[in-house]
Chains A and B, each alone.
Chain A
Amino acid sequence: MRSEPVSDGPLLEARGLSKRFGGVQALQQVSFRLRAGEVLALAGDNGAGKSTLIKCISGVHHPDEGEILYQGRPVRLDNPREAREIGIETIYQDLALADNLDVGANVFLGREPATRRFGILPAIDRRRMRDAAHEVLKTLEIEIPPSKLTLPVRTLSGGQRQAVAIGRAIYWQASVLIMDEPTAALGVPEQRKVRELILRLKEQAVGVIFISHNLVDIFAVADRILVLRRGRAAGERRTPETDHDEIVKLMVGAESAAA
């Protein structure tokens, strides 16, 4: 279904993306590249255009200008489903989980495996959903007690829920995973676990784009940092070659930092 990534070429590339909402230029000529197994952090103040950028890549918004290339080929993403079909999965800040459903149901939400009851009636295969969910969580080295697998996910901790959302993306073989503030709602130990999960995704050659306000998170996991300011790319740095101060200066703008 999905071809292997072109060797060395970027997995995902955005060229000159612009998006306007009424009178507001939310995004202006922003470009970036993401390789397999690379973690790209998007940093920037509120309203800098981070969310607009990921919504363009995940098919929620269609950019007014610019193009998106996936494995070197231009793609048109008119809705989130199309993005997901080529392997771009997004985990939103408020978690795209249905709290009242169990782990398996959430991993498969919208794509439930079908079976037949009594040989004729269409039904969803709950056992397969539960087993597959258990498997995928195991590959991520996430322990959710079996007794909890059949309870609504609202009974899980924030980190476990985040893990279910990531597991869902992995199960569907995401090659690009976009995460919007994955650690925002979590306590410190759970933040650390989510960072570990991101590093594990990296080992599995998934390209990760994540938005964060938290520079500690960014420096802990990102290979590169793209800083946005007022809808434009204010600068891009390789993590080992920069520091908190420089990123903050890029975020607030050099002139106001100098003032």
Chain B
Amino acid sequence: MAVSAAPAGAAGEEQHAWLRFLAAAWSWLFLLLLLVFFESWAQAAYGISFVFNRLNVQSIAMFAAVPLLLGLGQTFVIIAGGIDLSVGFVMGLAAVIMARVMQMLTGLPPGLALAAGLGAAFLISLVPGTINGLLIARLRVPAFIGTLGMYGVARGAGFLAADGTTVPVNNPWLFEMGNARLLGVPLPVVITIAVVLALHYVLSQTRFGQYTYAIGGNRMAALRSGINVRRHTMTIYLISAGCAGIAGMIYTARFSAGAAQAGEPLLLDSIAAVVIGGASLFGGSGTIIGTVIGALIIAVIQYGIVFIDVEPFWQFVAVGVVIIVSVLVDQSRSRLKGEIKDEV
């Protein structure tokens, strides 16, 4: 005799088929809906297009790029069941250190100074990443607390390194990096796309990605399967900090200046992008593509609301509502799949 599934009602299956599709694709649909909404508003009110407008598309892509970079690292962290609250100020710290180093090397050829600045930004971002990893993986400090501590430390270190102000840099190569275009696409967007592709591959195709899901799904199972959970967790926080470092580089390049508060408002956007993208804050689920869609939804709302000349503060309300709705959709999706059994 065989162990078989309880026969599922075929009618129920069909009934849920389109609901299931809706649940799986809702963030895409929602993005589409937003674009339609802003498009019709722009057409009706100003007789211009919102979507088929080169400037708008570029601006939205630029708007989305930096919070998305933070969100990409955050995706790994959240899937593994953690959270990284320090990303915003790690980004700021990297931006300041990069600007400081380049300031000191002003005499050097600009390319060399830029390379040194990028190297310094990357290396400095690995310091908080390593400490986060050690705290959480080795000393088993809860991720929320460990990275909250690092939030403060990186914030203070950033402001100290910047003497409490912004650090301007005058370097033509740096300006190019932040403002040049490749085939019409701003360079920061190109860099972000490259990081998206690399991390999407790692998360969806490799053992590293598989173990990230396994750790978030059942840490004990991962341990018992012989997965080196400690080392893996360390690496995840390094990835998150590395992404924040790249975000800091782009900030400094964009504005030819480093600022400790560069990433301050972006922490919540990064977490929101991951959650809107379908990840669970309890770990075990989420995708890079989802996070990209999440970041685009936030950017479209932020940019669109300004574009249609609505009071800009509505963007916070809108993004907040989207976060809540996305969690509700995620829960109903889990119920549909029978993944949540309303147990006490």
Determine if A50 is an interface residue (Cβ-Cβ < 8 Å).
no
Determine if B217 is an interface residue (Cβ-Cβ < 8 Å).
yes
Does A98 contact B226, Cβ atoms closer than 8 Å? no
How long is the Cα–Cα vector from A94 to B221 in the complex, in angstroms? 9
Determine if B339 is an interface residue (Cβ-Cβ < 8 Å).
yes
Size class of A's contact patch?
A: 35 or more
Does A144 contact B221, Cβ atoms closer than 8 Å? no
Q: Which residue of A lies closest to B8 (CB)?
A: A145
Question: For A159, what are the chain B residues with a Cβ–Cβ distance below 8 Å?
Answer: 3
The interface centre, meaning the residue of B211, B224, B227, B337 with most chain A CB atoms within 10 A of its CB, is B224
**How far apart are A32's CB and chain B's nearest CB, in angstroms?**
23
**How far apart are A242's CB and chain B's nearest CB, in angstroms?**
28
Determine if A220 is an interface residue (Cβ-Cβ < 8 Å).
no
Does A97 contact B218, Cβ atoms closer than 8 Å? yes
Binds A, one of B33-41, B199-207, B244-252: B199-207
How long is the Cα–Cα vector from A188 to B106 in the complex, in angstroms? 77
Within 8 A of B (CB), among A85-100: 90, 92, 94-100
**How far apart are B223's CB and chain A's nearest CB, in angstroms?**
8
Within 8 A of A (CB), among B218-234: 218, 220-222, 224-227
Partner of B207, one of A79, A100, A112, A141: A112
**How far apart are B107's CB and chain A's nearest CB, in angstroms?**
42
Does B5 contact A148, Cβ atoms closer than 8 Å? yes
How long is the Cα–Cα vector from A196 to B213 in the complex, in angstroms? 32
Does B3 contact A193, Cβ atoms closer than 8 Å? yes
Does A96 contact B224, Cβ atoms closer than 8 Å? yes
Chain B: interface secondary structure? loop
Does A98 contact B205, Cβ atoms closer than 8 Å? no
Determine if B4 is an interface residue (Cβ-Cβ < 8 Å).
yes
**How far apart are A61's CB and chain B's nearest CB, in angstroms?**
14
Does A101 contact B217, Cβ atoms closer than 8 Å? yes
Does A122 contact B3, Cβ atoms closer than 8 Å? no
A-B CB pair tally, cutoff 8 Å: 103
Determine if A124 is an interface residue (Cβ-Cβ < 8 Å).
yes
Question: For B227, what are the chain A residues with a Cβ–Cβ distance below 8 Å?
Answer: 109-110
Determine if B58 is an interface residue (Cβ-Cβ < 8 Å).
no
Does B5 contact A100, Cβ atoms closer than 8 Å? no
Once A80-B226, A109-B222, A110-B225 are accepted as A-B contacts, the answer to whether A124 and B207 lie under 8 Å apart by CB is yes
**How far apart are B184's CB and chain A's nearest CB, in angstroms?**
27
Does B339 contact A152, Cβ atoms closer than 8 Å? yes
Instruction: Flag A132-175 by CB within 8 Å of B: 1 or 0 each.
Output: 00000000011111001001101111011001000000000000
Q: Which residue of B lies closest to A158 (CB)?
A: B3
Question: For B218, what are the chain A residues with a Cβ–Cβ distance below 8 Å?
Answer: 96-100
How long is the Cα–Cα vector from A163 to B5 in the complex, in angstroms? 12
Determine if A105 is an interface residue (Cβ-Cβ < 8 Å).
yes
Does A92 contact B2, Cβ atoms closer than 8 Å? no
Instruction: Flag B1-39 by CB within 8 Å of A: 1 or 0 each.
Output: 111111000000000000000000000000000000000
Determine if A81 is an interface residue (Cβ-Cβ < 8 Å).
yes
**How far apart are A151's CB and chain B's nearest CB, in angstroms?**
7
Does A143 contact B4, Cβ atoms closer than 8 Å? yes
Question: For B226, what are the chain A residues with a Cβ–Cβ distance below 8 Å?
Answer: 79-81, 84, 110-111
24 sample A-B contacts, Cβ–Cβ < 8 Å, listed by A number: A96-B220, A98-B213, A98-B214, A98-B218, A100-B217, A101-B210, A101-B214, A101-B217, A105-B214, A109-B221, A110-B227, A111-B226, A117-B201, A124-B205, A141-B2, A142-B3, A143-B3, A144-B4, A148-B5, A155-B337, A155-B339, A157-B3, A163-B3, A193-B3
Other than A100-B213, A112-B207, give 18 A-B pairs with Cβ distance below 8 A: A96-B218, A96-B224, A98-B221, A101-B213, A101-B214, A105-B213, A110-B225, A121-B201, A122-B206, A123-B206, A124-B205, A142-B2, A143-B5, A144-B3, A148-B5, A152-B337, A157-B3, A159-B3
Using a CB–CB cutoff of 8 Å, the interface residues on chain B facing chain A are 1-6, 201, 205-207, 210-211, 213-214, 216-218, 220-222, 224-227, 284-285, 337-339
